[in-house]
């Protein structure tokens, strides 16, 4: 299973869109892995997670063929994770040569936002499907189970447990400390890869995002309870510029813990 990290920043990007702080100035100067766009990932070129406003940039930078994508799973409707208006660009007049529909999976708010953005196109173009926590979706090539996040009290935000080709991964952001029911569901599963929110870096964690300390705590609990298989990988991603940590700073913290620091364009194989 190939996991391609398209973006690895929080909502404002890193360097942030309008920001003149020293952290953003340094990221602009250093460039490379220190430049982060809004978070998204794609699995084996056909299953995408989230559709941020930087998607066109991802397509051009990494030479993606989004026409290959069959399934799009959306964690929640915050603007850095769902730019539903850009999905209209998959409809006729804008897109040609497509040979299968795109199925968009999300909870109630995602369905509503998509309907508001592009209505109800024919099923040969885009299918919007409502999903709920703990009900597994079989896409034909992968099985995906939505799990509750601890992120926005006004919306059902989701994390994803993905099974494909005898491998499993946990897509764990945006969220604060994992809800008890998510831990309970994971308790008798095993992971080859855990991807965790690290928005707050070495700042205090909040109810809606994690920091370095809580990433380590979740990783350790997963490892100690047998949720992480022997040799499983853990990745930290979704960083805010407010943490003041460049890519090298994050690696200095996480490398001794054998946790990978994601960067835009990074590809992992599990």
The two structure tokens encoding residue 154: 């006004």
- Cβ atoms within 10 A of the Cβ of 108, count? 13
Partners of 3 in beta bridges: 43, 268
Give pLDDT, residue 123. 83
> How much is the mean pLDDT over the chain?
97
Task: Report the C-alpha dihedral over residues 203, 205, 209, 212, rounded to 10 degrees.
Answer: 60
Give pLDDT, residue 122. 80
Give pLDDT, residue 220. 98
| CB 64, CB 39: distance < 8 Å | no
Secondary structure of residue 137 in the 3-state scheme = strand
Q: Which residues of the chain have pLDDT under 50?
A: none
pLDDT, one tens digit per residue, over 162-205 is 999 999 999 999 999 999 999 999 999 999 999 999 999 999 87
Phi, psi of 256 (to 5 degrees): -65, -20
Domains and CATH numbers, the chain: 2-269 (3.60.15.10)
Give pLDDT, residue 13. 98
Share of the chain above pLDDT 90, in %: 97
């Amino acid at each position: 299973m190939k996991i391609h990290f398209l973006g690895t920043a929080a909502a404002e990007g890193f360097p942030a869109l309008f920001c003149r702080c020293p952290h953003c100035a340094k990221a602009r100067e250093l460039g490379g892995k220190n430049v982060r766009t809004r978070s998204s990932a794609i699995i084996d070129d056909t299953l995408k997670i989230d559709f941020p406003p930087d998607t066109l940039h991802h397509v051009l930078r990494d030479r993606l063929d989004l026409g290959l994508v069959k399934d799009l799973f959306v964690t929640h409707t915050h603007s850095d994770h769902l730019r539903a208006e850009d999905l209209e660009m998959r409809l006729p007049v804008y897109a040609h040569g497509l040979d299968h529909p795109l199925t968009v999976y999300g909870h109630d708010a995602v369905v509503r936002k998509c309907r508001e953005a592009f209505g109800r196109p024919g099923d040969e173009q885009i299918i919007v499907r409502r999903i709920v926590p703990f009900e597994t979706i079989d896409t034909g090539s992968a099985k995906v189970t939505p799990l509750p996040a601890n992120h926005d009290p006004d919306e059902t935000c989701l994390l994803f447990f993905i099974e494909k080709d005898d491998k499993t991964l946990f897509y764990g952001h945006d969220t604060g400390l994992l809800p008890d029911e998510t831990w309970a569901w994971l308790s008798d599963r095993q992971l080859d890869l855990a991807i965790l929110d690290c928005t707050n870096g070495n700042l205090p964690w909040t109810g809606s995002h994690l920091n370095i300390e809580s990433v380590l705590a979740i990783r350790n609990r997963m490892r100690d309870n047998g949720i992480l298989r022997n040799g499983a990988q853990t990745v930290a991603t979704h960083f805010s510029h407010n943490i003041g940590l460049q890519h090298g700073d994050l690696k200095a913290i996480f490398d001794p813990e054998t946790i990978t620091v994601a960067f835009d364009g990074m590809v992992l194989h599990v």
